[in-house]
Structure 1
Amino acid sequence: MAARREVEIVALHVSPVHAYEGRPSDGPRPDPEPVSRDEVVVRAGLGIVGDRYFNHPAHRNAAVTFITAESLAPWPVDPLVARRNVVVREFDVDSLARGTVFRLDSGDGPVRFEVHRPASPCAWMDTVIAPGAFKALRGKGGIRCVPLDDGVLRSGTAELTMVST
């Protein structure tokens, strides 16, 4: 039987553009619309509807990114600044191995995700979070996943089930 527990989806991020391009000293590109969402629509094998990596061939196996809120806790920043799609609390995503499948259900039915690789931080973290954040987030920058089901994720309490490791 799979282990189930409660976690919190702290923030959901969807952006049609990549804001952290170029030189950090020039500052991030402004988003054409607010990135914070109360809910997101997930499509199996494609990602999050409206996100810059949705159905992008180079990111098909890494279209949805997760980070744990605890990784950002040392800094008083908006959790969306890390530009990960799903920010969760009480779920150590960085400890998950490639190929691990987990399921999140925030009230609209379960959505499974398969871990494919780490979501490594970039030098922009020193600019948008704080000096030293880039180095401090190594190994804690989150994960990149492929969604295995269509569904909806909502901010708030969710049930997490580890399907396979």
Structure 2
Amino acid sequence: MAARREVEVVALHVSPVHAFEGRPSDGPRPDPGSVSRSCAEVRAGLGLVGDRYFNHPAHRNASVTFIAAESLDPWPVDPLVARRNVVVRGFEVDSLPRGTVFSLDSGDGPVRFEVHRPANPCAWMDQVIAPGAFKALRGRGGVRCVPLDDGVLRTGIAELGLAHP
């Protein structure tokens, strides 16, 4: 990894269900597993253990989502409402090109991720964040990645390792 610096892992979201299905006007479906976690177990090529996208064939290259906390700063909301797995501060994930490999080491060793595509916001953002959030988050909704290593992520300060493709 070429560049290293500290970032903050603000929140981790591991949920067994996809709460944003159907019409936004009907509201999200209940998500009994949606709680803020202090750590998440990562499996290479599979995702976060216990998450709705773990080992899901349609999401193999997009099983872990990241969003910059700064994208959510205009609204006083819990950072987990955006339903991204990892919320980071001090790391502009939306500027990462496809194929970028980065690592996060939150104390248990580095875990590498490869960026595959944007995590585009949906109309649900207007319901769960605030009216206008859907439009405001275009281009700032985060990225979908595949984990390249097994490991653990924890909230708090982490070392970011970044290499460009």
TM-score, normalised via structure 1 length: 0.98
Q: After the TM superposition, which residues 135-154 of structure 1 pair with which residues of structure 2 at under 5 Å, given as runs?
A: 135-154=135-154
Deviation at 1:164, TM superposition (A): 3.0
Distance 2:60 2:3 in 1: 28
Q: After the TM superposition, which residues 82-121 of structure 1 pair with which residues of structure 2 at under 5 Å, given as runs?
A: 82-121=82-121
In the alignment, structure 1 segments of 5+ residues that lack a partner are: none
Whether the 8 Å contact between 2:14 and 2:33 is mirrored in structure 1 is no
**Which 4+ runs in 1 deviate beyond 4 A?**
none
Whether the 8 Å contact between 2:94 and 2:139 is mirrored in structure 1 is yes
- In structure 1, the residue matched to 2:30 is 30
In the alignment, structure 2 segments of 5+ residues that lack a partner are: none
The code of the aligned residue for 2:59 comes to: H
Secondary structure (helix, strand or coil) at the match of 2:80 reads helix
Distance 1:163 1:33 in 2: 34
- In structure 1, the residue matched to 2:2 is 2
What is the CA deviation profile of residues 120-144 of structure 1, one whole-angstrom value per residue up to 9, with x for unaligned ones?
0000000100000000000000000
Whether the 8 Å contact between 2:68 and 2:90 is mirrored in structure 1 is yes
Q: After the TM superposition, which residues 54-133 of structure 1 pair with which residues of structure 2 at under 5 Å, given as runs?
A: 54-133=54-133
Secondary structure (helix, strand or coil) at the match of 1:160 reads strand
- In structure 2, the residue matched to 1:46 is 46
Distance 1:70 1:164 in 2: 22
The code of the aligned residue for 2:109 comes to: G
TM-score, normalised via structure 2 length: 0.98
Distance 1:71 1:34 in 2: 21
